[in-house]
Amino acid sequence: MSTRKIVERRTKETTVRVEASLGSGLASVDTTVPFLDHMMTALAKYSGLDLTIKARGDLRHHIVEDVALTAGQAVAALVPKGAARYGERTVPMDDALVQAVIDVGGRPFYRGPIPSTFFEHWMRSFCDAGKFTLHIRVLRGEDRHHVVEAAFKALGFSLGQALADTGSVFSTKGSVSLRTKRRKRT
């Protein structure tokens, strides 16, 4: 059984709480943004993560961005030492065909785009906060809803692959550890 990670973010604009664990894809999402709720539920289902997300805020943009930042941190805290690290999936949804390729190895980078400024920003913020590398390729699609939803489903599948614990470190560098030392002021 995996440990549950809880990340809370509070600003003058938003209050966000994300609980995440490796599980079976259960979701309880209440952000006041219905399509964001739908996408977070899809992400949980297709990644196999159990997510509980509650968010309130002043503007839709702030809620979408801060949910991404908080979710990115929560998911990053779940990456096992022996994570498979990489994942890839292409998902069709009606007219849409979208590929997601992810590396959860600690280097933030995002390349899209997807046809929604809100959810393009969600992807970038999620990757920055989680230190994930993510490439999303929209191979086909006319309907924006279908393209965005296929992107979240593809991200979910690829994230589930990348988070799988293989029991060994997938890096030629071995296990990377960072330590910050405080210098004493004189």
Q: Which range marks the domain in which residue 42 is found?
A: 5-163
Is residue 186 in some structural domain? no
Q: What is the CATH number of the domain that holds 66?
A: 3.30.230.40
Is residue 184 in some structural domain? no
**Of the candidates 76, 61, 167, 180, which has an alpha carbon nearest to the alpha carbon of residue 122?**
61
Is residue 176 in some structural domain? no
Is residue 173 in some structural domain? no
Q: Residue for token digits 């910050």?
A: 180
Q: Kindly state the greatest CA–CA separation across the chain.
A: 65
Is residue 138 in some structural domain? yes
pLDDT score, position 156: 98
> How many domains, the chain?
1
Is residue 178 in some structural domain? no
Rounded Cα gap, residues 21 and 67, in angstroms: 16
Cβ atoms within 10 Å of 58's Cβ, excluding its own: 11
Q: Which residues of the chain have pLDDT under 70?
A: 1-2, 170-186
pLDDT (tens digit per residue) in 3-27 = 899 999 999 999 999 999 999 999 9
pLDDT score, position 169: 74
Write down the pTM of the prediction.
0.91
pLDDT score, position 60: 97
pLDDT score, position 168: 79
pLDDT score, position 167: 84
Is residue 15 in some structural domain? yes
Is residue 180 in some structural domain? no
